[in-house]
Amino acid sequence: MSFKEKGLLVVLSGPSGVGKGTVCRALRSRGTDLQYSISVTTRAPRAGEQEGVHYFFKSKEAFKKMIEEKKLLEWAEYVGNYYGTPIDYVKQTLDQGQDVILEIEVQGALQVKKNFPEGTFIFLAPPSLSELKNRIQGRGTETLDLIENRLKVAKDEIDMMKYYDYVVENDQVEKACDRIEAIVTAEHCKRERLVEKYKKLLEVE
Ligand SMILES: Nc1ncnc2c1ncn2[C@@H]1O[C@H](COP(=O)(O)OP(=O)(O)OP(=O)(O)O)[C@@H](O)[C@H]1O
Ligand SMILES: Nc1nc2c(ncn2[C@@H]2O[C@H](COP(=O)(O)O)[C@@H](O)[C@H]2O)c(=O)[nH]1
């Protein structure tokens, strides 16, 4: 009989525009064995964004109700909008032994770290601030004002990288994916996880 250990919770965060979404899409198309949590947000959908695919789009009232009903693992107000991670999907998926990745900003990541320190916290870093600016501008989804606000927040966020387990530079998407895959593999080989797993295996066999 084989014992299924709990999945890993991988938290990928970093400043807006660094490439979190791009890297997650590349991991997905590689077939990396990670489940992607879909966040709730109060921001308006961008062109092409779909309900339940990119986000669950909610009013501020509906979002606040989710906070009150403790339906969010973490949440944060970021540049005028709320963002949060539905707790049920994360719990159920980890319990099934599957790894979950959250793509979230820094305040939310630090909340998860406080409540779920056994998670794996990866900070995705830009090669430089000027490259970060080029990326946000190049994406063309925000007005100039919003880009400036996001860049201001980015400086404080980069200062928070010291609280993460790993820092991965997103210089090239494929290299960043290689590094993240290596981290996930290494986390699966961590001694504490394996001691627990083998203890349970010995009990059942
Ligand atoms: N390694 C890279 N080299 C060059 N451009 C990149 C790289 N990674 C991502 N980009 C580009 O940077 C822009 C921002 O990427 P993306 O939307 O994935 O960032 P994000 O961190 O998910 O942003 P947000 O937090 O605002 O959702 C996109 O236009 C993307 O194509
Ligand atoms: N704390 C959380 N942050 C989240 C969540 N989902 C997304 N995000 C982050 O918000 C910013 C802005 O996102 P955008 O889609 O408006 O560009 C970005 O850093 C996302 O990673 C969440 O559930 N919790």
**Facing residues of 12 across strands?**
103, 122
Contact 56, 39 (CB under 8 A): yes
Note the helical H segments in the chain.
20-30, 60-68, 87-95, 106-115, 129-139, 144-159, 173-188, 191-204
> Predicted ipTM?
0.98
Strand partners, 13: 123
Q: Report how far residue 67's alpha carbon sits from residue 84's, in angstroms, rounded to the nearest whole number.
A: 9
Domain at 38-97, CATH homologous superfamily: Guanylate Kinase phosphate binding domain (3.30.63.10)
Closest residue by CA, ligand 1 atom 1: 172
Question: Which-ligand-closest: CA of 132?
Answer: 1
pLDDT at 202: 85
The first and second tokens of residue 174, run together, are 């494929």
Phi-psi region of 41 (alpha: psi -120 to 50; beta: other; left: phi over 0): beta
Q: Rounded distance, CA 165 to CA 84, Å?
A: 22
Q: Containing H/E element for 136?
A: helix 129-139
Q: Indicate which residue's Cα is closest to atom 15 of ligand 1.
A: 19
Looking at ligand 2, which atom is closest to the CA of residue 13? 21
Question: Binding site membership for ATP: which residues?
Answer: 14-21
Phi, psi of 28 (to 5 degrees): -65, -45
Record the pTM: 0.94
Boundaries of every domain in the chain: 1-34+99-205, 38-97
Ligand 2 center to residue 102 CA distance, Å? Answer: 9
CATH of domain 1-34+99-205: 3.40.50.300
Q: How far apart are CA 108 and CA 123, in angstroms?
A: 13
> Nearest ligand to the C-alpha of residue 58?
2
Say which residue the tokens 């993240």 belong to.
180
CA angle 165, 171, 174 (to 5 degrees): 85
Question: What are 167-189's pLDDT values in tens digits?
Answer: 999 999 999 999 999 999 999 99
Chain segment 25-75, per-residue pLDDT in tens: 999 999 999 999 999 999 999 999 999 999 999 999 999 999 999 999 999
What is the residue with the minimal CA distance to atom 16 of ligand 1? 19
Domains 1-34+99-205 and 38-97 are alike in CATH topology? no
